[in-house]
C-alpha cells in the first residue's frame, strides 16, 4: 500500500470515495488525493477511468490500516448513510453498515490536521444525539475541535435540494480560523442545468418543458445493491420530479427525440442525472446504467465538497 504524500499542495486521504463526487470537490479546492479507499470495484473502475494516476485502494474500510498515511492534511469521507436514513430504518450503531467507528480509527492512525465526514440529515435528529456526542468526544480525546452543520446543495449552485449533514473537525489550534461556507444567493434550476441536453436530439417540446422545470429538483436517491434501481426515488420524490416535467420511474438511454410528444414527460439520462448532482460532463461513468446511476445518486455533490474543503484549507 503506497501513500504518495506530497507536501507541495494540501493532501487528503479519502474514505468511501464512491464515484468521485467528493474527490472532484477536494481536487478543485486544491487538495491532492494521496489515497482513495473504496470497497466497490465498479466505483474503483470509475475513479481509475477518470484519473488513471489516482492511488485507488480497493479496501473494506473495516480492514484498512492508515498508518502509512501519517501526516496527511485531511481525512475526508462519505460514510454509508443507511444506518441513519429513514429508508435504512435508522438502526445507527446497531447497523453493520455503520462505518463511523472505522473512520475515526483512520483519523487516529493518520493524525490529519482536519477531518471532513458527510452523511444524511437523519443523523442530525434527536434520535442520534448521544451518537453524535460520542463521536465528538472521541475527536476531542484525539485533540480535535469539531462541529456539525446541515448544508443544502441547492445553495451551492447544484440543481437539487440534497441536504447533507457535515462534520468538520480541526486540530484545536486551527478551530478559530474555520467558518462554514456562505450560500450563494441565486439557485440553478433543473431546466437551466439540462436545457442543452434535453434539446440535443431536436425535441420540439423542450421550451415548454423548460418553463415547467423552473425549480431545483428533490434529492436524487441512488439506492444500494440490495434496494433501489435506476429510478429517481420513492413515490413522493417521483411526484416532485413529475411537477418539474420529468418521469422519475427510470433512467433513459437517450435524450428525447424529435418524435417524442411535445407535452410528454422525458426521463433523465445518466449524463443528466450527473449534471443534477453537479458532476462536470468531463467525468465519465464507464459501467452499466444502473451502476452508473447508483454512483451518481449516492455521491457528495462536488460543489458542496469544494465549498467546505476551501474553508478547511483557509483554516489550516
Q: Which residues are tagged catalytic?
A: 81
**Helices 41-50 and 289-297: angle between axes, nearest 10 degrees:** 80
Strands 163-171 and 114-119: antiparallel
Query: In 10 A of CB 161, how many CB atoms?
Result: 17
**Pairwise CA distance, residues 85 & 102, whole Å:** 19
N residues, the chain: 316
Longest dimension (CA), the chain: 64
Amino acid at each position: 500500500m503506497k501513500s504518495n504524500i506530497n507536501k507541495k499542495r494540501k493532501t487528503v486521504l479519502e474514505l468511501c470515495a464512491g464515484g468521485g463526487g467528493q474527490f472532484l470537490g477536494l481536487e478543485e479546492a486544491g487538495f491532492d488525493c494521496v489515497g482513495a479507499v473504496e470497497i466497490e470495484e465498479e466505483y474503483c473502475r470509475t475513479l481509475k477511468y477518470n484519473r488513471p494516476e489516482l492511488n485507488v485502494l480497493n479496501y473494506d474500510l473495516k480492514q484498512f490500516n492508515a498508518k502509512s498515511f501519517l501526516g496527511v492534511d485531511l481525512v475526508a469521507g462519505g460514510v454509508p448513510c443507511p444506518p441513519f436514513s429513514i429508508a435504512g430504518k435508522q438502526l445507527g450503531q446497531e447497523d453493520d453498515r455503520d462505518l463511523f467507528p472505522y473512520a475515526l480509527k483512520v483519523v487516529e492512525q493518520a493524525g490529519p490536521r482536519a477531518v471532513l465526514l458527510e452523511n444524511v440529515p437523519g443523523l442530525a435528529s434527536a434520535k442520534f444525539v448521544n451518537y453524535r456526542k460520542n463521536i465528538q468526544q472521541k475527536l476531542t480525546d484525539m485533540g480535535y475541535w469539531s462541529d456539525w452543520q446541515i448544508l443544502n446543495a441547492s445553495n451551492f449552485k447544484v440543481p437539487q435540494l440534497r441536504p447533507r449533514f457535515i462534520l468538520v473537525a480541526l486540530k484545536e489550534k486551527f478551530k478559530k480560523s474555520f467558518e462554514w461556507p456562505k450560500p450563494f444567493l441565486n439557485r440553478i434550476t433543473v431546466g437551466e442545468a439540462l436545457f442543452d441536453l434535453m434539446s440535443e436530439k431536436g425535441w420540439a417540446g423542450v421550451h415548454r418543458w423548460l418553463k415547467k422545470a423552473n425549480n431545483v429538483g428533490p434529492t436524487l436517491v441512488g439506492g444500494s445493491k440490495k434496494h433501489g434501481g435506476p429510478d429517481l426515488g420513492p413515490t413522493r420524490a417521483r411526484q416532485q420530479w413529475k411537477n418539474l416535467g420529468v418521469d422519475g420511474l427510470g433512467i433513459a438511454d437517450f435524450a428525447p427525440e424529435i418524435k417524442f410528444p411535445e407535452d410528454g414527460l422525458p426521463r433523465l439520462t445518466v449524463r443528466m442525472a450527473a449534471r443534477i448532482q453537479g458532476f462536470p460532463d468531463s467525468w465519465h461513468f464507464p459501467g452499466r446504467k444502473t451502476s452508473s446511476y447508483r454512483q451518481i445518486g449516492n455521491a457528495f455533490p462536488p460543489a458542496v465538497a469544494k465549498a467546505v474543503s476551501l474553508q478547511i484549507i483557509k483554516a489550516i
